Structure 1
Amino acid sequence: MGATSATAAAPARVPFFTQAASFESLWPTTRRHLDQLMDRGKFSHGPKVAELETVLAAWTGARHVIGVNSGTDALVLLLRAAGLRPGDEVIVPAYTFVASATSVVLAGGRPVFADIDPVSYSLDPASVEAVRTDRTRMVMPVHLFHQLADLRALLEVADRHALTVVEDSAEAFGMRWDGVHAGLHGAGGVLSFFPTKTLGAIGDAGAVLTDDPAVADAVAAMRHHGRTGPTVDDFPTINRPTELLGTNSKMDDIQAAVLLAKLDRADQDIARRAELAAGYTERLTGTPGLTLPTVLPRTAATNPVWYVYLIESDHRDGLAEHLARHGVQTETYYPTPLHLQPCFAELGHRRGEFPHAEAACERALALPLYPDLADHHLDLVADLVRGFQQGKHR
């Protein structure tokens, strides 16, 4: 999911994200994959992509993984493959990155916004019930920041009204509900490999996860202009029959090579992210005017994976400016709720319709969190946050 950067007023002492150190340590493994790629001479939609799909399927437990060129394209193709028809409504949270909703439009549907649970930041099942109409065909839980949406309740709502569940699990690499990986609880889900993600490439890349072979076949064809049949090492491809309306959304093998190298240390990176999140919580607990992220109890075994450490402050913008003046970069998730975005003005929403989403947009701020973050930088950020908040509450 994207975010808006706070403008730094001083040279960055603590960037919001960097992978320089970890990438240097991964270079020998990455180079081995790149050497294989160069020797084969197939740089897009080739053997490295197929290898990544196989490894990711084993890692997530998905029966099918289809690599594409971004998390956004993954959503568009998944929605189409899951049966979205022109004009169908898809319920989407009002608090998420804009791609969750624009993907519905690009797939031919109509987004319908619902409010969020103020603790998990995910779709509120009661709000889903309130906005559902006879034209609603799908519901899209978005798993944000560090934990899954309330899948038990949302799946019950979907079953009750015969709605298809499509998960925007772009941020949810490694998250599981009762042992089942995010994205595999309905028709399918997606992963984004944008560089800042828990598993990030060095450019844009994404994937569709599904256990449904029909969905997988449709996505695999649509990512390659609707063509079916073999797609690896069968150059040229211009005369292959086109059975579906598709697009050019193939993953390039350089990104696949990087992701294969980084998968070797995915568990280590997830553990480091958890360690850093625990460090923030320990240092910031009891800070006045600050709300810290919470891991909600669930009806099934779930595991948090700390993609983002999101705090809420009653002086969010002032806090971001204070941190920027001291060289600490932050991100605002998200400055404007989707129902008030200009691109959705024709839907006719007004401020006040989804109060929890609007409150999060006004209060939420993400602190630096990534495996390369040093402990002394963690101390610095926490000290700055605590000092600012205490000054505001004297």
Structure 2
Amino acid sequence: MKVPFMDLRAMHAPIEDRVLELVRELAGTSAFIGGRHVAEFESAWAAYCGVEHAVGVANGTDAIVLTLRALGVGPGDEVLVPANTFIASAAAVSAAGATPVFVDVDPVHLQVTPDTLDAGRTERTKAVLLVHLYGHIVLPEPILAFANAHGLVVVEDAAQAHGATWEGRRAGSFGVAACFSFYPGKNLGAWGDGGAVVTDDPALAERIRTLANHGRAGGDHYRHAEIGINSRLDAMQAGILSLKLPLLDGWNAQKDDIVDLYRNKLGGMIVEPPDGVTSAWHLLVVRVADRDAVRAELDRKEIQTGVHYPIPCHQQPAYNVAAHAPVAESAARELLSLPLFPTMTEAQVEYVSAALTGALRG
């Protein structure tokens, strides 16, 4: 049996004809940048996340860069970032001119805590980048309390958490702003790159929109209020995202059911979300000894896997800085991402689980 890591084609099949209609419409109108498709998706995405405003941008990394710049976070400032995230989280901080300070995570959920954040805090700390890794929301109340106590802003990196909830509130509704990626492999993915920032702050949303559109302000095409960049969600991607958004909750529920099947087979190996969190299950991650050998055995049985992530950010050659992150460093040697997608069958789950269990026995 061949088991892919994900099956995007099966997810796209229900909307393929409507996407082709969208292509024909845009070919006829040439309205490729901006327009109603972008506005409609921004409105729908803000409502879905439970906030007032959404600004479509070119990708998730730009979403973080633009948000930090709009908040005035830049040179001389530090941003607390978990050491075990994808490097884009840290690179966005650097691109905004600030310095990422890498902090450790708890050993169970692999998420930041007030204690790990406090270990990295200095007088230059200005923000916390709260990464909802694997689709699991970081419990917001203790982090927000910590941030409020120290005068810090909290920005959510929700690139892996589309539709995840805590106590009924969706990812994206906790910080001063939240940043999403719509890379094709995300729970809500475009057919190319895309991203968005969501916020309840109208002034912040407007400044992000200005910075993302070459610094244009107030609808004046020829007046540039400040130095911006070109980072716009195009109409094609916005239209596709609007077609997929009504399917997102159903896909997430299917993945949740599949995780239950895995849980019955694999027990405590799975990296679980905290209590009260309904995960989006962007990734199903287990911790295993001798990860590379196990992965090779699964590959031999035609089971595709991933590793998220084998090198903590502070140990990447691009940074290579000192950080006290023993939990993140230890976990990086053990993490293995198993196949997980909405159309996955019970037989596929059983095959993967049996192969993993056999590989662990040696």
Task: State the Cα deviation string for residues 137-157 of structure 1 (Å, max 9, x = none).
Answer: 111110011311121111111
2:271 corresponding residue in structure 1? 293
Please say if 1:29 is aligned against 2:29. no
Q: Which whole-Å CA distance do the structure 1 matches of 2:46 and 2:244 have between them?
A: 15
1:234 corresponding residue in structure 2? none
TM-score by length of 1: 0.88
1:373 corresponding residue in structure 2? 344
2:6 corresponding residue in structure 1? 17
The match for 2:329 among 351, 354, 358 is: 358
Q: Which whole-Å CA distance do the structure 1 matches of 2:76 and 2:34 have between them?
A: 32
Alignment check: 8 A CA contact 1:94 1:114 kept: yes
CA apart distance, 1:257: 1.6
Alignment check: 8 A CA contact 1:89 1:138 kept: yes
1:249 corresponding residue in structure 2? 231
1:190 corresponding residue in structure 2? 179
Alignment check: 8 A CA contact 1:77 1:222 kept: yes
TM-score by length of 2: 0.96
Letter in 1 for 2:60: G
Please say if 1:315 is aligned against 2:290. yes
Alignment check: 8 A CA contact 2:83 2:325 kept: yes
2:354 corresponding residue in structure 1? 383
The match for 1:261 among 226, 243, 248 is: 243
Q: Which whole-Å CA distance do the structure 2 matches of 1:295 and 1:90 have between them?
A: 24
In structure 2, runs of 5+ residues without a counterpart are none
Which stretch of structure 1 is more off in the superposition, 184-193 or 91-100? Answer: 184-193
The match for 1:277 among 259, 275, 282 is: 259
2:301 corresponding residue in structure 1? 326
2:45 corresponding residue in structure 1? 56
Alignment check: 8 A CA contact 1:70 1:192 kept: yes
What is the percent sequence identity of the aligned residues? 37
Letter in 2 for 1:377: Q
CA apart distance, 1:105: 0.6
What secondary structure, in the 3-state scheme, does the structure 2 residue paired with 1:209 have? Answer: strand
CA apart distance, 1:27: 1.4
Task: State the Cα deviation string for residues 207-227 of structure 1 (Å, max 9, x = none).
Answer: 001111111011111111111
Q: Which whole-Å CA distance do the structure 1 matches of 2:149 and 2:218 have between them?
A: 38
What pairs up with 1:333-348 in 2 under 5 angstroms?
Answer: 333-345=308-320, 348=321
Alignment check: 8 A CA contact 2:135 2:162 kept: no
What secondary structure, in the 3-state scheme, does the structure 1 residue paired with 2:318 have? Answer: helix
Moved over 6 A (4+): none
Q: Which whole-Å CA distance do the structure 1 matches of 2:74 and 2:185 have between them?
A: 33
In structure 1, runs of 5+ residues without a counterpart are 1-11, 231-236
1:226 corresponding residue in structure 2? 215
Q: Which whole-Å CA distance do the structure 2 matches of 1:381 and 1:151 have between them?
A: 34
Q: Which whole-Å CA distance do the structure 2 matches of 1:92 and 1:295 have between them?
A: 19
Q: Which whole-Å CA distance do the structure 2 matches of 1:38 and 1:229 have between them?
A: 29
Alignment check: 8 A CA contact 2:136 2:273 kept: yes
Please say if 1:86 is aligned against 2:64. no
Alignment check: 8 A CA contact 1:19 1:372 kept: no
CA apart distance, 1:51: 1.1
Alignment check: 8 A CA contact 1:146 1:309 kept: no
What secondary structure, in the 3-state scheme, does the structure 2 residue paired with 1:145 have? Answer: helix
2:132 corresponding residue in structure 1? 143
Alignment check: 8 A CA contact 1:37 1:48 kept: no
CA apart distance, 1:179: 3.1
CA apart distance, 1:263: 1.0
